[in-house]
Amino acid sequence: AQTVTQSQPEMSVQEAETVTLSCTYDTSESDYYLFWYKQPPSRQMILVIRQEAYKQQNATENRFSVNFQKAAKSFSLKISDSQLGDAAMYFCAYRSSTSGTYKYIFGTGTRLKVLA
Amino acid sequence: GAGVSQSPSNKVTEKGKDVELRCDPISGHTALYWYRQSLGQGLEFLIYFQGNSAPDKSGLPSDRFSAERTGGSVSTLTIQRTQQEDSAVYLCASSLGLGVTQYFGPGTRLTVL
């Protein structure tokens, strides 16, 4: 069975600085999808970034980028120029590409604090 | 509506009572998912619907939990004889067909006293 591990329960970053959140996963599959979701206090889960395992190029969305290391089964999120609005829980998630298995498997999350 | 909606936003109930949680997916989304988020833990998959059928119920923790979906749209998660360990945030998500990206609602916070 697949598992997702986020080893940093909490991280802090100064406003305008860069922070990296870690995620590792375990799978025997070769094709899958990885995600980072943001959950602010409103509880609304917001998609930050998505990566297809068959793509070697790391995904980027504005200030957010990932470092996808398939062999190491690592999927870290880098937030550049951190803003106060980035403060939230961040969850890493895995989705198989196998037909019939569409659920996400989530890590336990990292709480990001942004210091003014 | 524009996004996934859930009701109620918060629900407080007494141990032993039954509760119903509702999810309205994004219009046109045929796939619907329920997850549970317990304090200090990640999201735990409960059940997945494709249309009105539930091909994957593997995450339902006990037979006190059930869910249905009618008309390929609204879904209801029912918890019978609630226990204190059922206290959690229940999140619903939907996706377009078998689309990879799931869109989440704001959740229902359930508190069992």
User: pLDDT for B23-56, tens place per residue?
Assistant: 999 998 989 999 999 987 789 999 999 888 888 8
Over residues B46-90, the pLDDT tens digits come to 999 988 888 888 899 999 999 999 888 999 999 999 999 999 999
Task: Tell me how close the Cα of A94 comes to any Cα of chain B, in angstroms.
Answer: 10
Burial of B80 (0-12, 13-18, 19+ CB in 10 A): middle
Name the helix (H) or strand (E) containing A106.
strand A104-106
Compute the distance between CA of residue A95 and CA of residue B96 in angstroms, rounded to an integer. Answer: 15
Tokens 């998630």 identify what position? A93
List residues bridging with B51 in a β-sheet.
none
Look at residue B98 and tell me whether its pLDDT is greater than 90: no
Other Cβ atoms less than 10 A from the Cβ of B11: the count is 17
pLDDT of residue B99: 75
Look at residue B1 and tell me whether its pLDDT is greater than 60: no
pLDDT of residue B37: 95
pLDDT of residue B39: 82
CB B107 within 8 A of CB B6: yes
Contact at CB, A47 and B31, closer than 8 angstroms? no
Burial of A97 (0-12, 13-18, 19+ CB in 10 A): middle
Q: Strand B19-24 vs strand B5-7: parallel, antiparallel, or unpaired?
A: antiparallel
pLDDT of residue B95: 92
Measured in whole angstroms, the distance separating CA B101 from the mean position of its chain's CA atoms is: 17
Q: What is the DSSP string of A26-53?
A: E-S-SSEEEEEEEE-TT---EEEEEEET
Contact at CB, B101 and A100, closer than 8 angstroms? no
Provide the chain B residues 34-53 that lie in CB contact (below 8 A) with chain A. Answer: 35, 40-45, 48
Compute the distance between CA of residue B65 and CA of residue B80 in angstroms, rounded to an integer. Answer: 7
End-to-end Cα, chain A, rounded Å? 41
Residues of B in contact with A105 (CB under 8 A): 45
* pLDDT tens series, chain A, 116 aa: 889 999 999 999 999 999 999 999 999 998 899 999 999 988 889 999 999 998 888 988 899 999 999 999 999 999 999 999 999 999 999 998 877 778 899 999 999 999 99
Provide the chain A residues 5-44 that lie in CB contact (below 8 A) with chain B. Answer: 6, 33, 35, 37, 42-44
Burial of A47 (0-12, 13-18, 19+ CB in 10 A): middle
Q: What is the DSSP string of B39-57?
A: TTS-EEEEEEEETTEEEE-
Residues of B in contact with A40 (CB under 8 A): none
Contact at CB, A102 and B56, closer than 8 angstroms? yes
Helix (H, G, I), strand (E, B) or coil at A115: strand
Over residues B2-29, the pLDDT tens digits come to 899 999 999 999 999 999 999 999 998 9
